Each structure stands twice: as C-alpha cells, then as structure tokens.
Amino acid sequence: MDKKGYFGEFGGQFVPETLMSALEELERAYGKFSRDKKCRAELARHLHEFAGRPTPLYFAERLTKKAGGAKIYLKREDLTHTGAHKINNAVGQVLLARFMGKSRIIAETGAGQHGVATATVAAKFGLECVVYMGEVDMERQKPNVLRMKLLGAEVVPVSSGSKTLKDAINEALRDWITNINTTHYLLGSVLGPYPYPQMIRNFQKVIGEEARRDILKREKRPPDYLVACVGGGSNAIGLFYPFLKDKKVQMIGVEAGGLGIASGKHAARFAGGRVGILHGTKSFVLQDKFGQIKETHSVSAGLDYPSVGPEHSFLREIGRAEYVSVTDKQALEAFSLLCETEGIIPALESSHAVAYGYALAKRLPKNKIVVINLSGRGDKDLETVTRAQSL
C-alpha cells in the first residue's frame, strides 16, 4: 500500500508546520462529511438544483462527420452553472467549509473559472470570499474578474513571480497560514498537499460517473478513448477516475504546448519537467537544474501552471494514462472548429482537448468512440481569441 497521502511516489504534504493542524482538521472533517448520509444527499441536491447536473453527453454529429473517423462525444461541463466543471468541487468544498464552521473562504484562480465558482458558492452560502489572481491572468480573463466582483468576492491581484496561477497559489497559501483559524482554502485543482488531491478528485468524479452511465446506455459499451485537458488536472481526473476499472479504455491528458516544446515556452510538465516539489506535493514540475520553478506559457490561463496533479504523474508512471501536448495555435484552431461545426464556444483550456480528440478521431476507424471532456465554455476567452485571430 502507498504511504498515506501518496499515489506511488507522488503526492505527500510538503507545507509549513503552521498549516499541518489545518490539514489534519480537513482530513478528519472530510472523512466525516463523506461518510455522512445527510451531507452526501445535500451535496447531490445542490449539484442537481444549483449546479445543473447531470450534464449531457452530447454526440457531436457534424464534428464526427468532418473528422470522418471515430464517433466523437462531448461531456458538456460547459453547461453547468458558472460554465465549467469547477463548480462541482466548489459546491463540495463550500459545504465542507460550512460543516467545519469556517466563515471565510479563500481561493486561487488562473482562468477565473474556479474563482467564479468559488465566489458563486460563497455568495449562495453567505461566506466571505477572497480570490487571489495573477495580474497577467486578470488582464486576459477580464470578464471573470467582473463576475467575481459582482458576486461579492474580493479579487486580490498578485504581482509576484510570473503573475499567473502559480503565484496566486503562493499568495493564497500565505493568506491561509495567516488566517488559519477562520479560513478554509478552497483549492481549485487536484494539487496541493494531502488530502486535497484525493478530496477534489472525489468531488469531480461525478463527471466520469455520469459519462460512463450515459455511454453504456447509448453505445452499450465503454468508449475507446477519453480525452481531457490537464492544467492541475481536475477535469481530467474527474472523467478518468470512474473508468480506471475499464481496462480497455485509453486515457489521454492534453497539456499546454504553448509555442511548442522546443521553444521552451509551454506548460507541458511531462514533456519538459522532472519530479520535484511544489505547492505541497511531489509531482512533475517545470524547473531549472537547481529546482527553481520555471515560468510557463500558454494561451489558456487555466493550463498555465508548472506542476500537475500527483495522481496524473502516477497514472502516467504505471502506464494507465498517456499525456500529450497541443500548441496554442492548434488549440485556437480547434476553438473555431467547434464554434463553426457544433455551435459550441469552448474554453481555450477545453479547446486543447478538442484539438487532440478531433485529430485522434480522424485517424481512427468509424467503429471507435472518443469522449472529449468539454470542461468549460469560452465566453471568457473572446478577447484573447479575437486578438490572436487578428494577428
């Protein structure tokens, strides 16, 4: 058996002593919460009535026809309330925070989807909410900054380091160390110290449970491929996890290739990183020879992060999942492709999965099935896309 809090050699609890009692408290509370029938029923009710679950598994007919190969299904997380899978985890953790008696919620955000989801649930449950966001990300995801403010959250600009998601997590952790007695840190991805990666995966696995149930009903068999984008990796692990026991289902995580791996300007941890320790967990990290963390690049703020969830590192190591990358350019092309063929505007993060899933479907025979996780909608990206297209 793995050491507590580990997936093989990945994971752990690499945080300052001040935080350890809070992690112990969180672990105990989450254990109680997840065993409590009433808590589970309440979570299911809010996911249904507030977040809008279940989301459809949509057969992308015109996209399939255009690819001329495997059948393409889209798991429509973009249709949830607030427009991305992030709400699943936010609802779960806000109930847990209330269960623990915390009055204040903090979060980090990259693309702003997790920040919006957190601000939303904080408003719904009447909790104080502070969201840390890198200045670069605030600039490129303006609509989400406005949404968070409308929802009553305080958005704190982070100007240290690369001014993106990594630095927002540093600031959120510093806030948590300072306000540990009143505050729950509502981390947004399957990152950070134990129990976060395990807990957040469990809040996200509803994606894969629904997709599995629906595809078995529709096709009478599991799909051949699952494709999802991987920043921290919460939408991907949410889709993958319930299929792990279906040995023939191949799982592909798509990282941000940025301007290309050779350029060095990317966020493909599995292509350019090695095992290291960042933000409380041991996983693949983009870093220099001495362990200083590298700045990353991606057109999508949500994938622009130098580490990856430890469970992904583990799935890759045991050969259960495969990780590839897609460039900014390919993601932008897939963005337009999905807009024009299916009438769906995908988030730039999800566009990475669409790009790879479409190319994959093209080279597969017609009797194969590919499920792509459409993790979020792209309204927030219109400015970035318009700018890129005019260049």
Partner 1 sequence: MTRLEQKFKETRAEGRIAFMPFLVAGDPDLETSVSIAKTIASPADLLEIGFPYSDPLADGPTIQAADIRALGAGMDTDHVFTYIKKVRESTDVPITVLVYANIVYQKGIERFYTEAKAAGVDGVLIPDVPVEEIEPFAQAAAKAGIDPIFLVAHTTTPERLKKILRYAKGYLYVVSVLGVTGARASLSADMPKLLKRIRRQTDLPLAVGFGISKREHIALLEKQGADGAIVGSALVKTITDNLSNKKRLLQNISAQVKQLTGAD
Q: Which residues are catalytic?
A: 86, 108, 375
CA distance 307 to 313: 10
Interacting positions 172-191 with partner 1 (CB under 8 A): 173-174, 177-181
- Contact stretch for partner 1 (CB under 8 A) within 15-23, 42-50, 84-92, 330-338: 15-23
Residue 368 in tokens: 């194969």
Output phi, psi for 290, to 5 deg. -95, 0
Taking the least distance from each CB to partner 1, the nearer of 23 and 251 is 23
Sequence-separated (6 or more) residues with CB below 8 Å from residue 61:
none
378 binds partner 1 (CB under 8 A): no
Least distance CB 35 / partner 1 (angstroms): 23
Q: Per rule CB under 8 A, is residue 160 in the interface with partner 1?
A: yes
Maximum Cα–Cα distance across the chain: 57
**Minimum distance between the CB of residue 285 and partner 1, rounded to whole angstroms?**
7
By CB under 8 A, is residue 28 in contact with partner 1? Answer: no
Distance in Å, CB of 194 to partner 1, minimum = 9
Q: Which helix (H) or strand (E) holds 66?
A: helix 61-67
Does 279 engage in binding with partner 1 (CB under 8 A)?
Answer: yes
Q: Does 283 bind partner 1 (CB under 8 A)?
A: no
CB–CB of 230/271 below 8 Å?
no
Smallest separation (angstroms) from partner 1 to the CB of 278: 6
Q: Which of 31, 52, 68, 291 touches partner 1 (CB under 8 A)?
A: 291
222 is a contact residue toward partner 1 (CB under 8 A): no
C-alpha distances out from residue 81 to 53, 287, 354, Å: 9, 36, 21
CA distances from 145 to 105, 174, 335 (A): 17, 21, 22
Kindly compute the dihedral angle of the four CA atoms of residues 213, 308, 250, 315, in this order, to the nearest 10 degrees. -100
**Residue choice 7, 10, 15, 141 for contact with partner 1 (CB under 8 A):** 15
Binding site for partner 1 (CB under 8 A): 5, 12-22, 160-161, 166-167, 170, 173-174, 177-181, 276-280, 285, 287-293
